[in-house]
Amino acid sequence: MFSKILVANRGEIACRVMKTARRMGIKTVAVYSDADRDALHVEMADEAVHIGPAAAAESYLVADKIIAACKETGAEAVHPGYGFLSERSSFPEALAKEGIVWIGPNPRAIEAMGDKIESKKFANDAKVSTVPGYLGVIESPEQAVQIAKDIGYPVMIKASAGGGGKGMRIAWNADEVMDGYARSKSEAASSFGDDRVFVEKFIENPRHIEIQVLGDKHGNAIYLGERECSIQRRNQKVIEEAPSPLLDEETRRKMGEQAVALAKAVDYDSAGTVEFVAGQDKSFFFLEMNTRLQVEHPVTELITGVDLVEQMIRVAAGEELTISQDDVKLNGWSVESRIYAEDPYRNFLPSIGRLVRYQPPEEIDAEELTIRNDTGVVEGSEISMFYDPMIAKLITHAPTREQAIDGMSAALDAFYVDGIQHNVPFLTALMNHPRWRSGELATSFIADEYPDGFLPAVPDEAAYSVLAAVALSMGALERERLDHLPGRLRPHSGAIREDWVIKLDKAYVPIRIAAGYPGTPVELDVAIGDGPVVNVESEWSPGDVLWSGKVGNQDVTVQVRPVTGGYRLDWQGYSVTANVLTPRVAELDQLMPEKVPPDTSKMLLCPMPGLVVSIAVEEGQEVKAGEQLAVVEAMKMENVLKAERDCVVSAIKAAPGDSLAVDAVIMEFS
């Protein structure tokens, strides 16, 4: 077994690998760029080596710098994590020449399976069912249009060396093929240094199901069940679960055996994933093989009890698998939510900045519920524009799917992040979505259910009641404390006001304290509107960011952020501003004029912090609705900004190469 390994990655996956290495008694070496000098993975490692500037192309993607770091520290092996150099066959070949062990599959397997075009040819030769498509390299947009016409719309344009949703576009007509071809090639070149793309049939209403395989250097290979990754946005996975609610034992066995056959055909000798696109009728087609550890591997670990990182290290050290196919038993259900630095209320545009507050839920390892948080940040960490916007992966495990989802919903309520925008409200809303809970999934789920983007959910009567009760318990306690501050001219008389009105955004909810006295812990009996009296209990104190307690028989965890005169409350995907008012003040408040936001309808604003790639129009030009105006790149993704209506460009305020802040004016219209 190795005594020291280098982790050629950053963020949560670097930290994840280091945890297992530490448990195995193996020392670790971190590598870091200028942007990651103070990162968590650097702190966790036994040693750390600086490898260059912030841009990945000048640091994490430079194999020679990784090899030099191994020589400097005496690291015997390299674990690549995912992304960066994890699927470049040239990297393990270069390591081998220096006598350094690669913790991953052999280069032949990477070459055969890591390239999407070659892997499909290989799968065809191995008699594996594949999606219809053109497997050659496409040389021009005109050729792409002709191929799409031959295959039949819709089609998917994909980067051959792609991953993570980058370099992928769905096209429903010739115009979209032309545009998608250009965007896919550009994204592929900037993200992977390889601009080859191919076209295949897009299966409508599909599900994304993948099989985890594990092989060793002695010819053994097994599969460890499946993961369903159908909840995606822009081809990037958002929520994963294991097992899949679609599959039965027979289909699982067929997919697993096909995945193992493919792995054995290339002498696969590490952890890897065979991805399938599945129809609602349980038909399935080979999509691609990821020759690395997957982002979503924790859900498989929790239902099988197998540490995949440990297995990768042991296999790389030459050990034989100690697990046979008969040993693999699926236990319970696991769900993973990816916490991203993106604004769900602005079409999920990237958000960068410092984590002013970062308080994840407490990790639990119990039979009835496991909560695991794989992260690479701490409070004070900076989310950079140079890398993937993932903050953390929150994973739950429970005996049933419903319990795992309920556990995830509660854990997300307790996941407190400030300083940047993030997708926790969206994930929380998803956990409570009836279609998600029913298991009726498809890769189009988010587009189907949120066609106009994600908007803050409007609380129903039950939610208003819970939020009003929480707000009153906090407001009454704070007023009680203020009334007893030393030096007050008119001390509290001892009586407490019974009647209140809670303003929740624009709704006014009457509430009455029927019994109890505000204090810590809080214990009040309250009547909301004409409803029954319910008990409210909590240990909350002013300044706490989470209100955790009970409203009636319901366990409730609400995120609390102070605002002028009240609080912003976030719970179950709802986000409301709450003000605790006396009935008379509430009457007067309803007479106040409403502040109207400024009109920006005649401007194109930069939707996220990013780099202007191109401006497609000129001053004085007439444009039609849907025409391209500009392209802005942020976090490796190119975002095409289009005209929402017919207009004339009156002024252009930005140029290609400019770095813009969010809401910076790009152009104006008349």
Which residues belong to the active site? 288
The residue written with tokens 């706490």 in the block is 544
The backbone torsions φ and ψ at residue 387, rounded to the nearest 5 degrees and listed phi first, read -130, 180
User: Distance between CA atoms of 56 and 95, rounded to whole angstroms?
Assistant: 19
Q: Which tokens is 275 given?
A: 């991805």
Query: What's the one-letter identity of residue 15?
Result: C
DSSP string, 303-348: HH---HHHHHHHHHTTPPP---GGG----SEEEEEEEESEEGGGTT
Q: For residue 112, what is the enclosing H or E element? A: helix 107-114
The bridge status of strand 133-134 relative to strand 197-201 is antiparallel
User: Distance between CA atoms of 200 and 192, rounded to whole angstroms?
Assistant: 20
Closest CA to 335 of 278, 412, 388, 279: 412
Q: How many CA atoms lie within 13 A of 599 on its CB side?
A: 4
- Tell me the longest C-alpha to C-alpha distance in the chain: 88
Question: What value does the CA radius of gyration of the chain take, rounded to a whole number of Å?
Answer: 27
SS3 434: helix
Query: What's the one-letter identity of residue 592?
Result: M
Identify the sign of the CA torsion 432, 437, 438, 443: positive
DSSP string, 623-669: E-TT-EEEEEEETTEEEEEE-SS-EEEEEE---TT-EE-TT-EEEEE
The backbone torsions φ and ψ at residue 624, rounded to the nearest 5 degrees and listed phi first, read -100, 155
Q: Which tokens is 16 given?
A: 């994840």
SS3 87: coil
Residue 623 and residue 646 in contact, taking contact as beta carbons nearer than 8 Å:
yes
Q: How many CA atoms lie within 13 A of 200 on its CB side?
A: 23
Query: What's the one-letter identity of residue 287?
Result: L
User: Distance between CA atoms of 573 and 428, rounded to whole angstroms?
Assistant: 5
Residue 353 and residue 610 in contact, taking contact as beta carbons nearer than 8 Å:
no
Residue 560 and residue 544 in contact, taking contact as beta carbons nearer than 8 Å:
yes
CB count in 10 Å sphere of residue 105: 30
The backbone torsions φ and ψ at residue 459, rounded to the nearest 5 degrees and listed phi first, read -60, 140
The residue written with tokens 């030393």 in the block is 486
> Exposure pattern of 175-187 as b/e (b: 16+ CB <10 Å)?
ebbbbbbbbbbbb
Residue 201 and residue 133 in contact, taking contact as beta carbons nearer than 8 Å:
yes
Closest CA to 205 of 542, 444, 12, 41: 444
H helix and E strand count, the chain: 17, 40
Rounded to an integer, what is the distance from CA 194 to the centroid of its chain?
A: 25
User: What letter would DSSP give residue 277?
Assistant: E
Q: Between the CA of residue 341 and those of 185, 190, 389, 390, 605, what are the distances in Å?
A: 25, 21, 5, 6, 20
